Amino acid sequence: MRVALDAWVPEDLKAGPFTLDRAREVGLTKRQLRSKAWRRLGPEVYAWVGLRDSPSLKLAAVALRLPAGTPFCGRTAAWLHNIESLLAEPIEATVPPTCRSVAGLRVTRATSDRTKS
């Protein structure tokens, strides 16, 4: 059975991953996000199934789970700067010392100008 990919998919949710809060802002419920038109990329992070899976999509989804301005580091940063040819697992980021751990992510805790609130 083929899913109608455009069945009530708000245009701004077709561009990239989004949070459950953003989905609610445009009128979607958590139950609607369980349909075949959406896929879950992480805790309360979703994407429209019409988006091609890619390392960039994965990083954008992870970034939604981190404090604003959190820099990626290590091999993840190397991939972003075209030094590494493949995005390594786990994704690595530098978070403020007060940030909780993020499942599926290797974190380094540090205070920097980019991670200060």
Q: What is the pTM of this model?
A: 0.83
> Looking at the domain assignment, is residue 61 inside a domain?
no
Return the DSSP state at 101: P
Q: Which of 54, 74, 99 is the last residue of a domain?
A: 54
Task: Assess whether 93 and 50 both reside in one domain.
Answer: no
Examine the domain organization and report whether 3 and 47 are in the same domain.
yes
Ramachandran area for residue 87 (φ above 0: left; ψ -120 to 50: alpha; else beta): beta
Tell me: do 1 and 48 sit in the same domain.
yes
- Strand pairing report for 38-42 and 45-48: antiparallel
Tally of domains in the chain = 2
| Separation of alpha carbons 42 and 83, rounded Å | 27
Q: What is the pLDDT of residue 100?
A: 82
Q: Residues 1, 45: one domain?
A: yes
8 within a domain of the structure (yes/no): yes
Full pLDDT tens readout for the chain, 117 residues: 344 544 678 999 999 999 999 999 999 999 999 999 999 999 999 999 999 999 999 999 999 999 988 999 999 999 999 999 999 999 999 998 888 888 889 999 888 665 444
Q: Is residue 39 part of a domain?
A: yes
Domain enclosing residue 41, as ranges: 1-54
